[in-house]
Amino acid sequence: MKRKILSVLLCAAFAVSMMSGCGSDTGADSGSNAGAQGGASSESDMAYVQDKGTLVVGITNFEPMDYKDESGEWVGFDADMARAFAESLGVEVEFVEIDWDNKVLELEGQSIDCVWNGMTLTDEVTSAMECTRAYLNNAQVVVVPSDVADQYQDTDSLSELNFAVEAGSAGEAEVSALGLNYTAVTAQADALMEVAGGTCDAAVIDSLMAAAMIGEGTSYEDLTYTVSLNSEEYGVGFRKGSDLAEELNQFFADSYADGSMQECAEKYGVQAALIEQ
């Protein structure tokens, strides 16, 4: 009997020892994983960009913010400021055209490092990205052929029109909220083409783009803009938690203080919309 009791006690002690050992191993592994995860989550986005040597900027063709000049180089207020910011980080800038409706996915998947393309600071944007302070004022405006513009001077007159809007844009949000008929296209420039080609009655685009791209002396001389649907502000978006947002805030403040931001704004005709930094 004593032998049996002793045997049982020894087995129990061995089992406890094994369980304790497993617990220690698990704890060590958990600690290692937590440390690795903690390191990944706290890793500097700025360090990541500087290590790879490029700041990849997600854009669309959007004059006067991001568009190609005659040589095929990306220029515009946002493009020039992005290039200067990349230089301040000691890296090259790379511009990548994106589907605006997929901008958050592109950012989170690290296909791009930021969205810098006249992006309206909506609740949806600010909840999904680490955004800078606002740097430009803007509005969504209705674009129609000039010869019928007098018929569309308020929101009540728009109900029978078929609109073209950029998918995922502030313009789409405005026409949707008003219950208007619309077709979603890839970019705001495409929305203008739809109106110019007669396939849509009207478009809703950013006022800064409208001022640069339609009317006398432009490729869309027969178009004009009428109703302003809202007022809004532009910001730049990075991955959630990115330290690059605050770095860009400081860059904007320094650029505003030394006058280079105003000079760039004047170059592209957006100085009246510039927000003091």
CATH number at residue 256: 3.40.190.10
Report residue 239 as tokens: 């991955």
Mean pLDDT of 177-198: 97
168 and 51, same structural domain? no
Tell whether 63 is covered by a domain: yes
pLDDT in tens, 46-66: 999 999 999 999 999 999 999
Judge whether 265 lies within some domain: yes
Residues 82 and 52 in one domain: yes
- CA dist 190 → 60, 84, 150, 208, 209 (Å): 11, 29, 24, 16, 12
115 and 250 fall within a common domain: yes
State whether 51 and 95 are in the same domain: yes
Same domain, 80 and 214: no
Q: Which domain holds residue 239?
A: 45-137+233-273
Which tokens belong to 185? 């296209």
pTM to 2 decimal places: 0.79
Of 267, 268, 269, 264, nearest in space to 277 by CA: 264
- pLDDT for res 43: 81
Report pLDDT for 210: 96
Q: Quote the strand ranges of 85-197, DSSP E.
A: 92-97, 114-120, 130-131, 136-138, 140-145, 162-166, 181-185
**83 and 132 in one domain?**
yes
Q: Is 102 exposed, middle or buried (0-12, 13-18, 19+ CB in 10 A)?
A: middle
Question: Using one digit for the tens of pLDDT, what is the confidence trace for 221-232?
Answer: 999 999 999 999
Helix boundaries (H) for 68-113: 77-89, 103-108
Mean pLDDT of 231-259: 98
pLDDT in tens, 22-43: 333 333 333 333 333 333 345 8
Question: What percent of the chain stands above pLDDT 70?
Answer: 85
Give residues with Cβ within 8 angstroms of 124, minimum separation 6. none
Do 221 and 248 share a domain, yes or no? no
Percent of the chain at pLDDT exceeding 90 = 84
Residue 143 has pLDDT above 90, yes or no: yes
- Residues 68 and 100 occupy one common structural domain: yes
Question: Residue 263 phi/psi, 5° resolution?
Answer: -60, -40
Asked if residue 224 and residue 145 are part of one domain, the reply reads yes
User: In the prediction, which pLDDT does 28 show?
Assistant: 34
- Our count of domains for the chain comes to 2
- Please check whether residues 212 and 239 belong to one and the same domain: no
